[in-house]
Amino acid sequence: MLDLKTRRAEAQPESGAGPTAPAIPHPQLLSVADAKAMSLADMNGLFKDHINPGQLHFMKLLGFNKIKVERAEGMYYIDQNGRKILDFFGGFGSLAVGHNHPRLIAERKAFQEEGRHEIAIAFMSQYAAALAKNLAAISPGDLDMVFLGSTGSEAMEAAIKVAERAVGPKRPKIVYAENSFHGKTKGVLSITDSPLYRGEFRLVDRNVRVPFGDIDAIRNAFESDPEIGVIVLETIQGGGGIITAPPEFWQELRLLCDKHGVIWVADEVQCGVGRSGRFYAFEHAGVVPDVTALAKSLGGGKTAMAAMIARREIYMKAYGSPKTAMIHAQATFGGIGEACITAIEALNILYDENLIENSAVQGAYLLSRLQALQAKYPKIIKEVRGQGLMIGLEFQDFSQTLPLVLRPVVSVLDDKLKGSLSGFIGALLLRDYATLVAFTEYNRNVIRLEPPLICGREHVDQFVESLDDLLGRGIIRIVKDFVGSQIG
Ligand SMILES: Cc1ncc(COP(=O)(O)O)c(C=O)c1O
C-alpha cells in the first residue's frame, strides 16, 4: 500500500503586527523521491484511480503494466529488473535522437545552471528566435514563418487557422483524408477521421473527406466545390497504419492547389524530423506545401516542442499587421526556453550524426529483411511497407487464419484482441524478447515500427531475429502462449 507522507505546515508564530492568514494545511503530497521509488502495484493503482482505468485494461492485456521503466538510454528502456527493452515503438516517432542523448542532457544542465529564463511572452526569447531561424533554414522554399507550441495538435490547430485566415471567409471548407490523424483537440478533431476519437463531440462541419492518395477525388472536390480553401494531409499516414502515396501524387496535388488557390497543409508531426529519410517526407516528391507542422522528435525526446511553419506570404495574409498579429500569437508556453534549446540541439545532432541518412539506410535494410520474413511466413504477414524508419507490418486478419481448434481458447479474450494477431505478437515480443513495438487504433492488424534514428544494423538484426523466432512458433502456439500470458 502506498505510504503517503503527511507534511503539514508548521504553525506560524504570531507576529506582533500586520494581517495574518489562517494556516493552510499541507495536503498529502508525494515527493519526487516517492515517485521514483514507487512500486509497480502502486503505479497500477494510481493509474487506475487518477489517470485512465480503461487504458490500464489494454495495458494489462499487452503486459505493459508489468514494466516499471527505471532508465532509458539510446535505443533502450531499462526496466526494474535491469532488462534492456529494445525500443522499436519510439514514442510514435518522438525519439529521433534516442533516449537521453548526452548532448541534450549537457545543454539542458548548463541552461539550468546558468539561470536562463524560460517564459517568452514578455521579452523576446533569443532561444525561440534561434530555433525559428533553424527551422526556416531547414525548410525548403519560403516556409519561413514559425509558430512554436508544445504538441502536435497545437501545431496543427495553428496550421488550419493560419490557412483559413489566409484563404478568407468565403472558402471555409477543408479537404482531409480517410484514416487521417491530426490530433484530438476540438478543431483538428474535425479532420481526424476516427469515429472513436470523434465520439459525439460537436465538430467543425462541412469538411470534405477523400480517400488518401486519390488525386482524382481531390480534383473532383476542388472543381465542384468553390468553398474549399484548404487541404490537410499527413505526408505519411501514421495512425492509418503507415500509408504512403507516390511522388506523382504530391506533385499533382501541388499543381491542383496552385490552380484552384487551395492552401496545402502537410502534417509532418509524425513523419517529419528525418523519420522518412528526408527531413520532411514531402521532400521525396520535390514539392513544397504552403504550411507544415512538426512536433514529436522536435523536442529531442526530452521535452514537448512543436512548430507550425508557414510560407511567409500565407502568414502575412493571416497575421501580418499589428491589428492581426495577436490573433494567434504564441501561447503561454510557446517558445519556452529550455524546450527551445533542446530542440536547437536536437536538430544539430540530427545533422552532426547523419541521422537522416541513417534513417534511409537502416529503413531500407529493415524493410528488406521484413520482406524476406513475409516470404517466409506468408500466412502470417500480409504486407510490409513504409519509408525510412517509419514502417508498418500488417498481419493477416486473424478471423481468416485462426484454426478452428483455437476458437474456444480465444473466446476468453477481450473483443479488441480477438482478431488481432498484432496484439499477440506485440505482447509476446515484449514478454519473451524484450522488444517494444507500437499498435495502431485504425487498423488492429498493423504493428508500427518507429525506432530512434540512431538505430544501427545490429538493432535491426536483433529485432528481425526476435520476430523470426516468434513467428517460427506458428499461429497455434503464438495464440496459446498469449492466452497463457493472460492467465499466468
Ligand atoms: C500526424 C499527426 N498529427 C498530429 C498529431 C497530434 O500530436 P500530439 O499528440 O502531440 O498532440 C499526431 C500524434 O500522434 C500525429 O501523428
Q: Report if residue 418 sits inside a domain.
A: yes
| 353 vs 204 pLDDT, higher one | 353
The DSSP secondary-structure symbol of 193 reads -
pLDDT of 315 reads: 98
The ligand 1 atom nearest the CA atom of 185: 11
Whole-number Å distance between alpha carbons of 378 and 371: 10
Helix axes 53-62, 421-433, angle to 10 degrees: 70
pLDDT value, residue 338:
98
Confirm whether 313 is domain-assigned.
yes
Same domain, 188 and 293: yes
In this prediction, residue 16 carries a pLDDT of: 63
What single letter denotes the amino acid at residue 337? G
- Nearest 5°: CA angle at 287, between 281 and 289? 80
Mutate to test the pocket of ligand 1, among 92, 153, 297 (most ligand atoms within 8 A of CB): 153
Ligand 1 centroid to 113 CA: how many Å? Answer: 32
Residue 345, C-alpha cell as written in the block? 540541439
Q: Distance between CA atoms of 171 and 164, rounded to whole angstroms? A: 8
* Residues 391-416 pLDDT 10s: 999 999 876 567 777 776 666 666 66
Q: What is the strand order of the sheet 438-439 is part of?
A: 381-387, 390-395, 446-449, 438-439
Among residues 352, 371, 399, the one where a domain terminates is 352
pLDDT tens column, 158-169: 999 999 999 999
Question: Domain check: are 286 and 407 in the same one?
Answer: no
Grid cell digits, residue 365: 535494410
Q: Does residue 304 fall inside a structural domain?
A: yes
- 91's CB contacts (< 8 A; 6+ apart) are 296, 301, 450
**Does residue 25 lie in a domain region?**
no
Percent of the chain at pLDDT > 90 equals 84
In a domain, 16, yes or no: no
SS3 241: coil
Give me the pLDDT at residue 208, please: 97
* Number of neighbouring beta carbons within 10 Å of residue 113: 8
pLDDT at site 131: 98
Q: Which of 192, 232, 270 to mutate to test the pocket of ligand 1 (most atoms within 8 A of CB)?
A: 270
State the average pLDDT for the chain. Answer: 93
Q: Whose CA is nearest to atom 16 of ligand 1?
A: 270
Band the pLDDT of 15: cuts 50, 70, 90: low
**Distance from the alpha carbon of residue 154 to the mean position of ligand 1, in angstroms:** 9
Q: How far apart are CA 200 and CA 484, in angstroms?
A: 37
Same-domain pairing of 310 and 162 = yes
pLDDT tens across 167-204, in order?
999 999 999 999 999 999 999 999 999 999 998 899 98
Grid cell listed for 188 = 483538428
Find the radius of gyration of the CA atoms of the chain. 24
User: What is the C-alpha to C-alpha distance for residues 385 and 370, in angstroms, rounded to an integer?
Assistant: 9
Q: Is the pLDDT of residue 122 over 90?
A: no
Burial 448-484 (b: 16+ CB within 10 A, else e): bbbbbbbbeeebbebbbebbeebbeeebeebbbbbbe
Are 330 and 376 in a shared domain? Answer: no
Mean pLDDT of 32-45: 98
Residues 317 and 366 in one domain: no
- CATH code, 463: 3.90.1150.10
What is the domain-level CATH number for residue 333? 3.40.640.10
pTM of the model: 0.95
Note whether 370 and 378 are within 8 A (CB). no
Residues 372 and 390 both lie in one domain: yes
Q: Look at residue 13 and tell me whether its pLDDT is greater than 80.
A: no
Domain that holds residue 442: 65-99+355-487
Both 436 and 479 in one domain: the answer is: yes
Confidence of residue 487 (pLDDT cuts 50, 70, 90): confident
- Give the residue among 52, 27, 121 at the shortest CA–CA distance from 329: 121
pLDDT of residue 1: 57
SS (H, E, C) 101-121: CHHHHHHHHHHHHCCCCCCCC
- Residue 8 pLDDT grade (very low, low, confident, very high; cuts 50, 70, 90): very low
Q: Could you tell me the CA-to-CA distances from 86 to 300, 359, 390, 452 in Å, in that order?
A: 18, 17, 16, 10
Contacts (Cβ under 8 Å, ≥6 apart) of 245: 212, 213
Residue 291 has pLDDT above 80, yes or no: yes
Mutate which of 156, 212, 242 for ligand 1 pocket (most atoms within 8 A of beta carbon)? 156
Q: Name, in order, each residue with C-beta under 8 angstroms of 319's C-beta and a sequence gap of 6 or more.
A: 162, 165, 325, 327, 328, 329
Strand partners, 309: 146, 292
What is the position in ligand 1's atom list of the atom closest to the CA of 237?
Answer: 1
Considering the domain boundaries, does residue 249 fall inside one? yes
Nearest one of 116, 145, 138 to 340, comparing CA atoms: 116
Mean pLDDT of 65-86: 98
Q: Indicate if 155 and 254 belong to the same structural domain.
A: yes
Alpha-carbon span 118 to 342, nearest angstrom: 12
- Whether residue 286 lies inside any domain: the answer is yes
Short-list 282, 237, 226, CA closest to 259: 226
Residue that terminates a domain, selected from 352, 369, 393: 352
Number of domains in the chain: 2
Same domain, 331 and 372: no
Whether residues 283 and 413 share a domain: the answer is no
- Residue 419 bridge partners (DSSP): none
CA of 274 to the centre of ligand 1 (A): 16
* Number of residues assigned to the chain: 488
pLDDT at site 409: 67
Ligand 1 centroid – CA 270 distance (Å): 7
Q: How far apart are CA 90 and CA 267, in angstroms?
A: 19
How many angstroms separate the Cα of 22 from the Cα of each of 9, 12, 66? Answer: 11, 9, 45
Average pLDDT of the segment spanning 89-96: 97
The reply to whether 446 and 336 lie within a common domain is no
Are 451 and 87 in contact by the 8 Å Cβ rule? The answer is: yes
For residue 483, what pLDDT band results from cuts at 50, 70 and 90?
confident
User: Whose CA is closest to 396, among 463, 451, 471, 473?
Assistant: 471
Distance CA 204, CA 251 (A): 29
All cell numbers assigned to 472: 517460427
What local confidence, expressed as pLDDT, does residue 9 receive?
A: 45
Residue 84 φ then ψ, to 5°: -90, 120
- Model pLDDT, residue 206: 84
Q: How far is the CA of 442 from the centre of ligand 1 (A)?
A: 14
Q: Which of 301, 334, 352 is the last residue in one of the domains?
A: 352
Going by their DSSP bridges, the two strands 173-177 and 228-234 should be labelled as parallel
**Residue 385 per-residue DSSP state:** E
Specify if 243 maps to a domain.
yes
Task: Tell me the sheet residues that pair with 87.
Answer: 436
For a mutational test of ligand 1's pocket, the pick from 92, 150, 182, 232, i.e. the residue with the most ligand atoms closer than 8 A to its C-beta, is 182
- Note whether 148 and 69 are same-domain residues: no
Structure confidence by residue, pLDDT tens digits, 415-467:
666 667 899 999 999 999 999 999 988 888 999 999 999 999 999 999 999 99
